[in-house]
């Protein structure tokens, strides 16, 4: 190697500085350095960097580490074992360590059952082959955390997705794919077949009874199908995005990026990426990225527009990409081309239905709408999936808008037929039809169908991260609401006795202030004040519901003898606590995050939550559902405060002028809004979606996770030691 | 249940220490911390250009170690494994910070010690290093200070080994230029 004329490259200078070159090269570089000041600087810089001692570790870091561990904080580190093609491999000492750790953790659990942390539920699940092709046989190997290590067999549940499956995870999508049996070394194993049609699957492991679930800290375990060349299938990644929607938005963006890296010439991948950039990163970042998308779209357009024959995916992708980059002229071209080249494509048919509505979504001409919509429905292919649901939903909405009973009958049947969530579809149809006297009997039937389904609580509807008990409780809560719908429909039909009986059945399904209030009102209307007072006491046990009593019930409350009334309310409160807290399994968040107040100061988690019941709401201004809930949260703030419960709302971004302006624009300055500075809060709760609600007890433990907003006030009230 | 008895190790050998850390023993975590924290902090500081962020990385690494260490399969050096995990943790943090487009702190605003009389040149160099863009600085630090090959760096950063070479060269050029113009 001679460096007399040419400069040595950086690696050669580094080798010289480290004295790792062989003698000849060391000499050559030295000769060059004698006449080259620039390279001498380079070597001096490299040697100086290596010798630096200026980074003294600050004191007390170790104390903070031990303190964090003691309070249950856990951090998932990026340990790269994905490169290991043989899947899970545990050495003898590691297995011993896991087993010993599991025993210790199990003992800890038995001694302190209310101090469970997420880490004790989470084990390691690996699949072999890690990159399967469609139809492959997979071997799952699972090393359990402490809580699942006590069983001889475990259940592997999955959500298996096909290319036409819709986004989000509503409906009966889950199934048991294998039973894992304990093998040599303590790990659990099972082999199962991945159906040919499946391109993506998400997994969770649970105890045989489904009472302990390991969902990998909320992230699940995932498998994408690969092609022969070792590339992930386009449909596999697209389905992964659909599965992640609503449960982990950051990962949807990462997967969309992977999709464009793997398929750079597919416009559909880019259209997905630009959409997720806007949803996940926010408008300002998405706007900054838009010019490069526009350039790429223009290049695609020039290349594809001239080609005579293109596959549907390319044409549909170009249409979506044009819309995402706001190129209206090109979008028009691709919409028209899709309609011309693929006239039976479900989206093309649905677009024709949309043209029968005005900008507000109202049907312009009912006489014209229904014949055309019927013809579009007849042309919908059987595998139209989500588009068929949207068309049926629009048809039913049009029938409700016009009050056309024949159309109501036809489109409600179609809607129930195609909607994958049969429980909710039957409820929607039932409550819709019950409002129309000629269709009331059919509405009642639909409501009864919904109740039967909810009563069965099919396991296919159980989300992968939900225990069987929690699923039954959620189904019972929903069944209770549908029973209440049925009671009101029966009342409309003039059958008061049946309505009252139905409400009493509903009351047995769980604590529900609205149901008790309906019963109280109905007894009062029937002149039975004793029964009315009994149910009114139950309403009053819920301090939030107690503030919303109608005058008729408030007058009844005032007429009741003070001592007896107080006794009834106290008994009802005790009953309420028992009912609401049944089956809860409190755990500590994984750590003690700091969040940022709107004035920029950092607040410790203990400051915000310890010593009182706290409702924690995760939201994002990029999430329509979360933004929709904000006014209700603002209304709840004072009412919760009045009973000693505090509300902490956490945005998925640091506090900023822009965030403050957003809240001001929505008149939400009074909302206790904090920023998640480094994503610490999100990690502590393993929360990857918005809106999500948690209710914490005064010790800071999560008692209710991922609650419905409507349930939050009662859950908070149940945790109060002494109700005011 | 197929489990070994939980025993107290007789001495602080590395394999004993690893096993005890896996059980969450505070004593073992403290011993492991004393062995490796300073090196992790130094590299994290240089990668992140911020002592407080580097402190957070050290905290994260040792808080998460008992769970992560179960994935160490006993092949190769434990120190090498730990340093790779720490480097990846730091790089993840760098990516997050980049995504948030946070404004870089003023040089020396974040806890890097002021120079003594004998190390002004080194201090200037550290300031210059923090002015090098993160994507170049990462390669420079991982290559020169941590001794990773370009292939390993490529894997960690999601780039090719050729790109790692180019970045290393550009990083050194830029560092030289910045250092020249500021001293």
Tokens of A317: 């992708």
Picking from A9, A58, A65, the nearest residue to B63 by CB comes out as: A65
Q: What are phi and psi of A723, to 5 degrees?
A: -70, 140
Q: Pick from A9, A38, A49, A152 the residue to mutate for testing the B interface (most B CBs within 10 Å).
A: A49
Inter-chain contact A45–B172, Cβ cutoff 8 Å? yes
Q: Pick from A16, A17, A54, A183 the residue to mutate for testing the B interface (most B CBs within 10 Å).
A: A54
**Average pLDDT rounded to a whole number, residues A141-159:** 91
Q: Which residue does chain B place closest to A66, by CA atoms?
A: B26
CA distance A630 to A636: 10
Q: What is the pLDDT of residue A81?
A: 43
Picking from A58, A79, A98, the nearest residue to B55 by CB comes out as: A58
Inter-chain contact A75–B60, Cβ cutoff 8 Å? yes
Which of these, B101, B137, B109, B24, lies nearest to A102 by C-alpha position? B24
> Which residues are registered as beta bridge partners of A138?
A192
**Average pLDDT rounded to a whole number, residues A237-244:** 95
CA distance A214 to A125: 10
pLDDT(A319) > 90: yes
Inter-chain contact A57–B168, Cβ cutoff 8 Å? no
Contact present, A545 and A513 (Cβ < 8 Å): yes
Alpha-carbon distances, residue A667 vs A449, A621, A661, A664, A673 (angstroms): 42, 14, 10, 5, 13
Picking from A49, A98, A182, the nearest residue to B144 by CB comes out as: A49
DSSP A307: -
Q: Pick from A45, A83, A87, A682 the residue to mutate for testing the B interface (most B CBs within 10 Å).
A: A45
Q: Which residue does chain A place closest to B88, by CA atoms?
A: A78
Task: Assign A326 to helix, strand or coil.
Answer: coil
Closest approach of chain A CAs to the CA of B12, in angstroms? 15
Q: Which residue does chain A place closest to B60, by CA atoms?
A: A75
Inter-chain contact A11–B165, Cβ cutoff 8 Å? yes
Q: What is the pLDDT of residue A383?
A: 84
pLDDT(A399) > 70: yes
Q: What is the pLDDT of residue B3?
A: 32
Q: Which residues of A565-583 are buried (b: 16+ CB within 10 A; e: fewer)?
A: beebbeebbeebbeebbee
Task: Assign A162 to helix, strand or coil.
Answer: coil
> Which residues are registered as beta bridge partners of A153?
A181
Q: What is the ipTM of this complex?
A: 0.80
pLDDT, tens only, A293-311: 999 999 999 999 999 899 9
Average pLDDT of chain A is: 85
Picking from B24, B122, B180, the nearest residue to A101 by CB comes out as: B24
Contacts of A77 in chain B (CB under 8 A): 60-61, 64-65, 67-68, 85, 88-89
pLDDT, tens only, A101-147: 434 433 333 333 333 444 466 788 989 998 999 999 999 999 888 88
Picking from A14, A65, A69, the nearest residue to B143 by CB comes out as: A14
**Average pLDDT rounded to a whole number, residues A564-584:** 86
Contacts of B157 in chain A (CB under 8 A): none
**Average pLDDT rounded to a whole number, residues A84-108:** 37
Contact present, A715 and A703 (Cβ < 8 Å): yes
Contacts of B14 in chain A (CB under 8 A): none
Q: What is the pLDDT of residue A160?
A: 96
* Kind of pairing between the strands at A673-675 and A213-214: unpaired
Inter-chain contact A99–B74, Cβ cutoff 8 Å? no
- Per-residue pLDDT band for B97 (boundaries 50, 70, 90) equals low
Query: How many other C-beta atoms lie within 10 A of the C-beta of residue A374?
Result: 15
Tokens of A422: 């049969």
Contacts of B144 in chain A (CB under 8 A): 14, 17, 46, 49-50
- Which of A473-482, A585-594, B2-11 is predicted least confidently? B2-11
Closest approach of chain A CAs to the CA of B134, in angstroms? 16
What is the percent of chain B where pLDDT is above 90? 3
Contacts of A102 in chain B (CB under 8 A): 3
Q: What is the pLDDT of residue A54?
A: 53
pLDDT, tens only, A509-534: 888 888 898 888 888 888 888 888 88
Q: What is the pLDDT of residue A624?
A: 74
Picking from B19, B26, B122, the nearest residue to A66 by CB comes out as: B26
Contacts of A48 in chain B (CB under 8 A): 121-122, 125
What is the percent of chain A where pLDDT is above 90? 43
Q: What is the pLDDT of residue A52?
A: 56
Q: What is the pLDDT of residue A129?
A: 93
Query: How many other C-beta atoms lie within 10 A of the C-beta of residue A710?
Result: 12
Q: Pick from A79, A656, A678 the residue to mutate for testing the B interface (most B CBs within 10 Å).
A: A79
Picking from B26, B58, B112, the nearest residue to A54 by CB comes out as: B112
Comparing B117 with A180, the larger pLDDT belongs to A180
Size of interface A-B (CB pairs under 8 A): 200
Which of these, A21, A22, A29, A36, lies nearest to A2 by C-alpha position? A29
pLDDT, tens only, A412-466: 999 999 998 899 999 999 999 999 999 999 999 999 999 999 999 899 999 999 9
Inter-chain contact B73–A281, Cβ cutoff 8 Å? no
- Which of A84-93, A176-185, A300-309, B173-182 is predicted least confidently? A84-93
CA distance A338 to A328: 15
Q: What is the pLDDT of residue A582?
A: 83
- Per-residue pLDDT band for B10 (boundaries 50, 70, 90) equals very low
Closest approach of chain A CAs to the CA of B41, in angstroms? 6
Inter-chain contact B2–A51, Cβ cutoff 8 Å? no
**Average pLDDT rounded to a whole number, residues A588-602:** 83
Inter-chain contact B42–A104, Cβ cutoff 8 Å? no
Which range is most confident: A14-23, A177-186, A278-287, A298-307? Answer: A298-307
Picking from A51, A79, A91, the nearest residue to B68 by CB comes out as: A79
pTM for the structure as a whole: 0.61
**Average pLDDT rounded to a whole number, residues A615-620:** 94
Inter-chain contact B119–A124, Cβ cutoff 8 Å? no
Q: What is the pLDDT of residue A722?
A: 62
- Which of A88-92, A198-202, B71-75 is predicted least confidently? A88-92
Comparing A534 with B98, the larger pLDDT belongs to A534
pLDDT(A320) > 90: yes
Contacts of A61 in chain B (CB under 8 A): 33, 37, 41, 55, 58-59
- Which of A168-172, A514-518, A551-555, A571-575 is predicted least confidently? A551-555
Picking from B37, B59, B92, the nearest residue to A78 by CB comes out as: B92
Contact present, A434 and A443 (Cβ < 8 Å): yes
Inter-chain contact B144–A50, Cβ cutoff 8 Å? yes
- Which of A189-193, A324-328, A512-516, B118-122 is predicted least confidently? B118-122
pLDDT(B183) > 60: no
Tokens of A526: 């029937």
Closest approach of chain B CAs to the CA of A323, in angstroms? 25
- Per-residue pLDDT band for A162 (boundaries 50, 70, 90) equals very high
Q: Which residue does chain A place closest to B116, by CA atoms?
A: A54
Place of tokens 């070394």: A185
Picking from B56, B85, B168, the nearest residue to A79 by CB comes out as: B85
Question: CA angle, B139 as apex, B134 and B141 as ends, to 5°?
Answer: 90
Alpha-carbon distances, residue B9 vs A91, B2, B15, B21 (angstroms): 18, 20, 10, 11
**Cis, peptide link before residue A691, omega less than 30° from 0:** yes
CA distance B62 to A68: 10
Inter-chain contact B88–A77, Cβ cutoff 8 Å? yes
Inter-chain contact B126–A54, Cβ cutoff 8 Å? yes
Contacts of B145 in chain A (CB under 8 A): 49-50
Inter-chain contact A77–B172, Cβ cutoff 8 Å? no
pLDDT, tens only, A670-702: 899 999 877 778 878 877 778 899 999 998 899
Q: Which residue does chain B place closest to A153, by CA atoms?
A: B1
Tokens of A352: 């024709």
Contacts of A55 in chain B (CB under 8 A): 38, 41-42, 45-46, 51, 54, 112
- Per-residue pLDDT band for A43 (boundaries 50, 70, 90) equals confident
pLDDT, tens only, B107-161: 333 333 343 434 445 557 777 787 888 888 889 888 888 788 888 888 878 788 8
């Amino acid at each position: 190697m001679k460096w007399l004329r040419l400069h040595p490259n950086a690696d050669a200078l580094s080798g010289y500085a480290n004295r790792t070159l062989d003698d000849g090269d060391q000499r050559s570089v030295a000769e060059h350095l004698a006449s080259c000041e620039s390279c001498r600087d380079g070597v001096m810089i490299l040697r100086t960097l290596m010798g630096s001692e200026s980074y003294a570790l600050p004191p007390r870091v170790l104390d903070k580490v031990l303190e964090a561990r003691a309070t249950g904080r856990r951090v998932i580190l990026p340990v790269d074992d994905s490169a290991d093609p043989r899947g899970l491999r545990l050495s003898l000492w590691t297995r011993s360590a896991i087993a010993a750790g599991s025993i210790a953790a199990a003992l800890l659990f038995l001694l302190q059952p209310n101090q469970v942390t997420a880490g004790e539920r989470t084990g390691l699940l690996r699949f072999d082959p890690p990159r399967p092709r469609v139809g492959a046989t997979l071997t799952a190997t699972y090393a359990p955390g402490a809580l699942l290590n006590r069983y001889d067999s475990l259940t592997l549940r999955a959500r298996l997705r096909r290319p036409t499956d819709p986004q989000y995870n509503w409906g009966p999508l889950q199934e048991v794919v294998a039973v894992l049996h304990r093998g040599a070394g303590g790990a659990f194993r099972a082999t199962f077949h991945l159906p040919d049609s499946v391109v993506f699957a998400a997994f969770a492991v649970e105890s045989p009874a489904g009472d302990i679930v390991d969902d990998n800290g909320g992230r699940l375990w995932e498998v994408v199908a690969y092609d022969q060349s070792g590339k992930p299938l386009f449909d596999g990644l697209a389905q992964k995005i659909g599965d992640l929607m609503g449960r982990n938005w950051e990962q949807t963006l990462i997967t969309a990026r992977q999709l464009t890296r793997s398929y750079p010439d597919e416009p559909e991948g880019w259209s997905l990426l630009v959409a997720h950039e806007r949803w996940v990163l926010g408008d300002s970042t998405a706007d900054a990225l838009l010019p490069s998308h526009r350039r790429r779209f223009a290049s695609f357009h020039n290349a594809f527009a001239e080609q005579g024959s293109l596959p549907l995916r390319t044409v549909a992708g170009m249409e979506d990409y044009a819309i995402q980059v706001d190129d209206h002229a090109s979008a028009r071209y691709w919409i028209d081309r899709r309609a011309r080249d693929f006239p039976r494509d479900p989206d093309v048919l649905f677009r024709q239905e949309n043209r029968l509505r005005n900008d507000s979504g109202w049907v312009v001409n009912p006489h014209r709408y229904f014949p055309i919509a019927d013809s579009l429905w007849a042309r919908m292919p059987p595998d139209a999936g989500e588009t068929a649901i949207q068309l049926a939903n629009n048809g039913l909405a049009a029938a409700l808008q016009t009050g056309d009973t024949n159309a109501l009958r036809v489109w409600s049947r179609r809607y129930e037929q195609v909607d994958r969530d049969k429980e909710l579809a039957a409820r929607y149809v039932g409550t819709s039809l019950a409002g129309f006297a000629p269709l009331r009997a059919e509405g009642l039937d639909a409501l009864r169908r919904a109740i039967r389904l909810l009563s069965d609580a099919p396991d296919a509807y159980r989300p992968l991260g939900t225990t069987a008990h929690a699923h039954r409780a959620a189904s019972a809560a929903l069944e209770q609401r549908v029973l209440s719908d049925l009671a009101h429909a029966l009342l409309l039909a003039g059958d008061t006795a049946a309505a009252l009986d139905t409400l009493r059945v509903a009351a047995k399904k769980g604590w529900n202030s609205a149901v008790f209030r309906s019963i109280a009102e109905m007894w009062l209307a029937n002149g039975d004040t004793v029964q009315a007072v009994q149910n009114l006491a139950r309403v009053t046990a819920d301090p939030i519901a107690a503030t919303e009593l109608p005058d008729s019930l408030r007058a009844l409350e005032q007429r009741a003898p003070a001592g007896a009334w107080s006794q009834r309310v106290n008994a009802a409160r005790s009953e309420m606590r028992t009912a609401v807290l049944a089956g809860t399994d409190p755990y500590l968040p994984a750590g003690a995050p700091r969040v940022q107040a709107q004035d920029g100061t950092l607040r410790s988690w203990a400051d915000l939550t310890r010593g009182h019941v706290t409702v924690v709401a995760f939201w994002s201004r990029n999430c329509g559902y979360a933004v929709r809930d904000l006014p209700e949260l603002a209304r709840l703030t004072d009412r919760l405060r009045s009973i000693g419960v505090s509300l902490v709302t956490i945005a998925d971004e640091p506090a900023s002028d822009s965030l403050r302006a957003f809240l001001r624009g929505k008149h939400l300055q009074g909302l206790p809004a904090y920023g998640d500075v480094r994503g610490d809060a999100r990690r502590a709760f393993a929360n990857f979606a918005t809106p999500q609600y948690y209710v914490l007890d005064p010790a800071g433990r999560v008692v209710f996770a991922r609650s419905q907003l409507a349930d939050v006030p009662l859950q908070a009230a149940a945790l109060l030691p002494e109700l005011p | 249940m197929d489990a070994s008895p939980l025993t107290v190790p007789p001495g602080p050998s590395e394999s004993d220490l690893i096993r005890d850390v896996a059980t969450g023993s505070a004593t073992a975590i403290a011993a492991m911390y004393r062995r490796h924290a300073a090196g992790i902090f130094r590299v994290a500081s240089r990668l992140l250009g911020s002592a407080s962020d580097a402190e957070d990385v050290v905290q994260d690494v040792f808080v998460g170690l008992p769970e992560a260490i179960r994935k160490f399969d006993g092949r190769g050096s434990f120190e090498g494994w730990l340093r790779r995990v720490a480097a990846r943790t730091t790089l993840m943090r760098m990516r997050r910070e980049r995504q948030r487009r946070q404004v870089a702190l003023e040089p020396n605003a974040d806890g890097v010690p002021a120079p003594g009389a004998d190390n002004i040149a080194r201090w200037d160099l550290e300031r210059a290093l923090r002015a090098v863009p993160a994507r170049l600085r990462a390669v420079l630090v991982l290559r020169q200070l941590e001794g990773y090959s370009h292939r390993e760096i490529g894997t960690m950063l999601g780039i090719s080994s050729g790109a790692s070479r180019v970045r290393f060269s550009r990083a050194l050029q830029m560092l030289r230029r910045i250092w020249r113009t500021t001293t």
